[in-house]
Amino acid sequence: MPHLRIHFTDADLARTRLKLEADLMWEVVGSVQALQYAAGGLSFGSWRRRVRERVGEDGCLRAAVHSLVTVAPHASYFPDFLTPSAAVPDIGTGAELVLATPRRRLRAEIRRLRPAGGAAKTWLEELADGKAAALRHLERALRVYFRCLVEPHLDVIEQALRIGCAAGVQRYLHAGPEGLLGWLGPATRWGPPVLTVDYPIDRDLFLAGRGLVLIPSYFGVHHPVALADPRLPPVLVVPLHAGARLLAGRRGGDHVSALLGATRATILRSAVTGCTTTRLARQAGVAPATVSHHTNVLRDAGLITTDRHENLATHLITPLGLAVLGPGGG
């Protein structure tokens, strides 16, 4: 498998940070690509069905989806200008930043695309040339698409980001930037001074003192993504694990027991105030050896931590575990 190798210096480690709020433009692009392949079906199956229904009923939305699929294909390359590095508090600002892309850069990035032909190819050519009508069409597509298909889900997206990032924040607090880089998931491997990422193409990215912004993405479901142009401010967009999306979208019922099983749910709830293994065994009604098995699983999932002092182990819930329990304590 090809890899992206991201090369760090000590200065890069010091400047590496985790973005905790949703990046609207990366979510737009990620969701457009999520429409083009079937990965993450359990998380996105119902969303894709609603998209198909709305597209069938709304010609403006259908045109917006078609345009964005054209300019952001699910491929090894899509244009960097669609995901500006500046802060994007709303879709209006995002669209303005996209349209403000210098014409030379716009032309170079769009011409790397390989559309099949027809009207899509003609529109991309006009967009590459900076034609006003083509730019207005892209702006309208971004606004309509976001308003219809992303904005209604922002609460769930933000909640999933909080759940998904809690363990990363804890790793950063306990082990610094290197702990954070070691948390990113099975598609990444941290071997100082290089972060190796499973990737569609083989490439190297030298940070050269600029640091790295890690951007968790709700709609990123395939693999981590970096900008194609190494001269741009470096980012790595990291897909949230499926559990964070599923937990964020859950409503009603004893979702914790349904997800973890009754014994692990009891242990997780008991760990809110900190519990020894013996006490957990008594509360869950199982043997201490069985508790140890369950706490190992919960700890590996980032839901609890264990503090050991001599022969005493105390288990305490993490922010991610609290997020799993939800506002009402699960």
Count CB atoms within 10 A of the CB of residue 21. Answer: 13
Of the candidates 265, 263, 264, 242, the residue with the CA atom closest to the CA atom of residue 330:
265
pTM reported for the whole predicted model: 0.77
Under DSSP, the state recorded for 148 is: I
pLDDT in tens, 234-244: 999 999 887 77
pLDDT given for residue 20 in this prediction: 83
pLDDT given for residue 167 in this prediction: 75
Count CB atoms within 10 A of the CB of residue 168. Answer: 23
- pLDDT > 90 fraction of the chain, expressed in percent and rounded: 64
Give CA–CA dist 243/241, Å, rounded: 6
Task: For the chain, list residues with pLDDT below 70.
Answer: 39-42, 246-247, 249-254, 273, 326-330
pLDDT given for residue 123 in this prediction: 95
Both structure tokens of 98: 């996209």
pLDDT given for residue 194 in this prediction: 98
pLDDT given for residue 329 in this prediction: 45
Residue 250 backbone dihedrals phi, psi, to 5 degrees: -80, 140
- The domains of the chain, with CATH numbers, are 3-20+156-247 (no CATH), 24-152 (no CATH), 253-325 (1.10.10.10)
pLDDT given for residue 252 in this prediction: 46
pLDDT given for residue 247 in this prediction: 64
- Bond from prior residue into 193 cis (ω within 30 degrees of 0): yes
